[in-house]
Structure 1
Amino acid sequence: MKPLVTIRKALDDPALLGGILPGDTWRAWRVLLTATMGEKLTTPERAIYKTFTGRDKEPPSRVDEAAFVVGRRGGKSRSMSTLATYIAGLCDHSDKLVPGERGVLLCIAPDQRQAAITLNYTAAAFERSKMLRQLIEDRTADTLRLKNGIDIEVRAASFRRLRGPTFIAVLADEAAFWFSSDTGSANADTEILNAVRPGLATTGGPLIIGSSPYARRGELWSLYKANYGPDGDPRIIVAQGASRDFNPSLSEAVVSRAYARDPIAASAEYGGQFRADIESLLTREAVESVVSPGVYERPFLSGRVYVAFCDPAGGSGKDSMTLAIGHREGEGIIVDAIRERRPPFSPEQVVAEFCALLKSYRVAKVTGDRFAGEWPREAFRKHGVAYDPAAEPKSNLYRDLLPAINSKLLDLLDHDKLINQLVSLERKTARGGRESIDHPPNGHDDVANAVAGLDSVLSKKHLSYDDTLSWVDSKSMTERHASIEAFMKATAPKSAALRGGAIIMER
């Protein structure tokens, strides 16, 4: 990477990037970007640099990696897109690319929508510059193609989609909110960064991470622990600061109200501090120890009493509608079937589909999320299935699921989404010691919720009687009559009243 102009000059020149990060409110970002590219700082700039990195002096050359841990509304996306514009448009990468090869500047975000924000900022930076706009060759939903042989691409955080290209730089947005290896996710932040680092090996391009902090786990936390302050790797810089340190124009009243509502959350959201109140509920090892490998669904067997739990959804939002069916065997709980329908979908059609499955397992009543309102009752009733709201909130269902998994009293299906959602669950402690369990930001737990609800129903249900539809099966009726006759013979010496009572209970 050979700069055609220094980033300091580019940020000062109105014909280049001079209008993007102007004035004193963007001074901290200009200092950090200048240091990231290995350029000398002035004495006043060095003081700013020390404030955010804990280091007395800037790196001797362009860094290999940089992490900016900054509170929300601190200007991360705009600043990182400015750096992307500089690296892609004002640096020469021809000596690192073979003839005919296009270099890729990759922007990764938790999802495609958020990644597109960075691309929009970058495209705007090119279009606002009289000189840089001439480099634009084409623009699609996820790529800005330049005439100098560079493509600026945005992708969601999935390691399976990041292997292969030659990267001139990689910008990782909001990496603290990717799934971390600590939660056991199959698409962990470690795997994602391991997938892109080889793509930087031949070009020597930098890996730049910009994120609000979250839990004390994952790649961003590890990078912070190892490299924040004077003892870190000189080729890696980590800067940390509050939102208003980087963006003084942010309303102080907004930040103050956030601290008044929830000081722990606000210290991360606006204070730039990693949270100490969040931990994972389950490990992947614990969950996988109760999974039956290769078992994706168990068939209905006569004589078993099946129950079900449903997590309804409206069909037009982000939530899936899910259903779990299972039964008890002794002290153990067996999950037999799982269904998920992702949006968009017709709730009426999904209810009809779920009811058909419920009846195939002879289930006449389903328990469901109590926050769904009245519509599930009416929708299931149309198909002859009763819907009862759950007695416990979701957080309590997860709390009670923990000992069942740790004690290996639960037998799960081999269902990737279920496993990933379970190991991603987070336990948070709020003010006053109140604890809650839920999915992480930008995550989902619809399948996990259905299974946790099923576990709750089966754990607390007294199955001394059969409230399923198994009586409609003629074979089951024959077996039941035979068992009653056997009971009557075994209790013949006893009183008729007792025998009659037993018969009545069986019926």
Structure 2
Amino acid sequence: MNLIEALDDPNLFAPWFRDATWNAWRAILKGALALPMSVDEIAFFRSVADRAPPTERVQELWIVAGRRGGKDSVASVIASHAAALFRDAGQLRPGERALAMCLATDRDQAKIVLNYCRAYFTDIPLLQGMVERETAFGFELSNKIDIAVSTSNFRAVRGRPVLIAILDEVAFWRDDNSATPDEEVYRAIKPGLATMPGSMIVGISSPYRKTGLLHKKYKDHYGKPGKVLVIQAPTALLNPTIDPEIIAEALAEDPAAARAEWLAEFRDDISAFVSQEAVDACTSPDVLERPRVDGVKYSAFVDPSGGSSDSMTLAIGHSQLSEDKKRSISVLDAVREIRAPFSPDDAVAEFAALLQSYGIRSVRGDRYGAEWVSQAFKKAGIEYRPADLSKSEIYRDLLPRLNSGEVDLLDNRRLAAQLLGLERRTARGGRDSIDHAPGAKDDLANAAAGCLVYLTSARHQPVGASMGTYSRTSERAQTPLQREAATWSVPCTIL
């Protein structure tokens, strides 16, 4: 029994998909599964796929859809149908179980689809007897299939055969330890599909900015023949019951956001702040921290926090001349992050000890809670000076230095991920701002950027005030721009 027959069967999924409002989705699914279509369905399919219907079942289905268009309902029935009808014909080794998985940015999001799936196997008499055991992340079926949810972490999906993988709201996946969690998970899933005939990846999401896996699939496959099908459809087309006034009001209030959320258009007003190539070029591989060197003057920047939600972070660095003595290089020597929850006084004491170990008696930082922060650091023997640049201005000033290779970063995954996750937003008035994406963090990036920018900012102590000597003998402690010489000595600025 194919999926469309199951959707129309009153003993299976018909009670959830009974009326004509689901006809748009039926046409999309028929196209993805290469099932017979009417003339009207073919015309509709072409309008949302910009191509003829596939002649064979696709291996990947990517749906760029507006909010409240029924994405989770459709994702759940695709997964449940595939899981219920699976029969092991030698694909699985003895004792092995395959996965029908739903992945999302967090388990709460993924459980939306899981709960829909559970309802089918709980409420449909024909499927009730298949559930053998409930687990922490889903349930096991009697036909060697586990329906489960997981976070968008590539480590969590390795090693299992995969019957179907639902990548839920994939345009919004975030991971503090990875700049590209969507692409890493996709690569980790692919081998698990290889041994399962009829397996499929279904990426289903509202669109966001023009980067990431969803946009890549859209750019590479939308409107093109092949086994990867990309659909783009606004909310009103997929869900004709939606009140058009809701969409009209959203478009009037924030056109850029509403066009993405309701019209399924990728956003033009949000772009990536810095490229992967630029960050990689400025990173010293395997250098996690640099010890204090005599004769070098260090500076620091702190991003404070009250301890309840955000991390409190610190970055320490110094400025030196490049090998040809023509440029200033801002070098990051140490970073610290204390994640919430924590005691602010204990965090300040820990940071003060590190600052003093580098000979630092004055630290600059974000204006957050300036008076409290100043007093806390003063008690610990450190002067705290609020920054005169906003966070967005600090990022703005860091960008040209990153792109020109005039900074030397530590090999810190969280720092790199946060830098690569920063977004440049253009407001309706034309003014740009730079900040983290919704739901993401940038505490570590903020501290590092502040440290690096203020080391050579023209509004502060200029390079060349006093010179010391800084030597490095390890190639692993060098930026890619400096690896031609394995041993060298250059003047270093004393601020």
Contact 1:93–1:168 (8 Å) recurs in 2? no
Mean alpha-carbon deviation: is it higher for 91-100 or for 281-290? Answer: 91-100
Q: Answer yes or no: is 1:80 the counterpart of 2:71.
A: no
Question: Matched residues in 2 for 1:365 and 1:206: separation?
Answer: 57
Helix, strand or coil for the counterpart of 1:432? coil
Superimposed CA distance per residue, residues 139-168 of structure 1 (whole angstroms, 9 cap, x where no aligned partner)? 223232111210012222222332221111
What are the residue-to-residue correspondences of 1:378-397 with 2, within 5 Å?
Answer: 378-397=375-394
Contact preservation (8 Å) 2:454, 2:460? no
C-alpha contact 1:226 1:232 (8 A) present in aligned 2: no
1:11 paired with 2:7, answer yes
Which residue in 1 is equivalent to 2:16? Answer: 20
Deviating above 6 A after TM superposition, structure 1's stretches of 4 or more consecutive aligned residues are none
How far apart are 1:285 and its partner, in Å?
2.8
Map of 1:219 onto structure 2: 213
Residue 150 of structure 2 aligns to a residue whose secondary structure is strand
Q: Which runs of 5+ in 1 are unaligned?
A: 465-507
Letter paired with 1:353:
E
Paired residue type of 2:48: F
TM-score (norm 1): 0.82
Question: Does 1:329 find its partner at 2:320?
Answer: yes
Deviation at 1:399?
0.9
What one-letter code is carried by the residue in structure 2 that aligns with 1:256? Answer: A
Displacement of 1:117: 2.5
Give the distance between the partners of 2:421 and 2:156, measured in 1 at CA. Answer: 21
Gap change, CA 1:150 and 1:378, over 3 Å in 2: same
Partner residue in 2 for 1:274: 266
Are 1:49 and 2:62 matched, yes or no?
no
Q: Where does residue 132 of structure 2 map in the other structure?
A: 137
Amino acid at match of 1:424: G
Counterparts of 2:316 and 2:174, CA distance in 1: 28
1:20–1:82 CA contact under 8 A, matched in 2: no
Mind listing any 5+ residue stretches in structure 2 that lack a counterpart?
Answer: 322-327, 463-495
The alignment's TM-score, normalised by the length of structure 2, stands at 0.84
Which residue number corresponds to residue 256 of structure 1?
248
Matches within 5 A, 1:237-316: 237-316=229-308
Report the structure, 1 or 2, having the larger helix content.
Answer: 1
* C-alpha displacement of 1:38: 3.2
- Which residue is equivalent to 1:40? 36
Q: CA deviation at 1:389?
A: 2.6
- CA spacing shift, 1:98–1:42, aligned 2, 3 Å: farther
Select the residue among 148, 168, 190 that pairs with 1:173: 168
Q: Do the aligned partners of 1:33 and 1:83 also contact (CA within 8 Å) in 2?
A: no
Distance change (3 Å), C-alpha of 1:63 and 1:406: closer
Cα distance change of structure 1 residues 41 and 353 upon mapping to structure 2, 3 Å threshold:
same
Q: Given the superposition, is the C-alpha separation of residues 31 and 379 from structure 1 closer, same or farther in structure 2, using an over 3 Å criterion? A: farther
Give the C-alpha shift of residue 357 in structure 1: 1.6
- Root mean square deviation of aligned Cα: 2.7
The question of whether the paired residues in 2 share the 8 Å contact of 1:333 and 1:455 is answered with yes
- Deviation of residue 449 (structure 1)? 0.8
For the structure 1 residues 75 and 387, does the alpha-carbon distance in structure 2 shift closer, same or farther, using more than 3 Å as the test?
farther
Q: Distance in 1 between matches of 2:304 and 2:236?
A: 41
TM-superposed CA distance for 1:135, in Å, is 1.4
> 1:250, 1:147 → 2: CA distance?
39
Letter in 2 for 1:163: R
**2:194 is matched with which residue?**
201
Tell me the secondary structure at the aligned position of residue 152 of structure 1: strand
Specify which of 424, 427, 430 is matched with residue 424 of structure 2. Answer: 427
Q: Secondary structure of 1:335's partner?
A: strand
C-alpha deviation, 1:373, in angstroms: 5.9
Question: CA, structure 1 residues 379+248, in 2 after alignment: closer, same or farther (shift >3 Å)?
Answer: farther
Distance, in Å, in 2 between the alignment partners of 1:59 and 1:429 is: 39
Offset at residue 256 of structure 1 (A) = 2.1
Partners of 2:11 and 2:377 lie apart in 1 by 64
Residue 252 of structure 1 deviates from its aligned partner by: 2.7
Percent of aligned positions that are identical: 44
Contact 2:287 2:411 in 1 (8 A): yes
Q: Quick one: distance in 1 between partners of 2:115 and 2:306?
A: 31
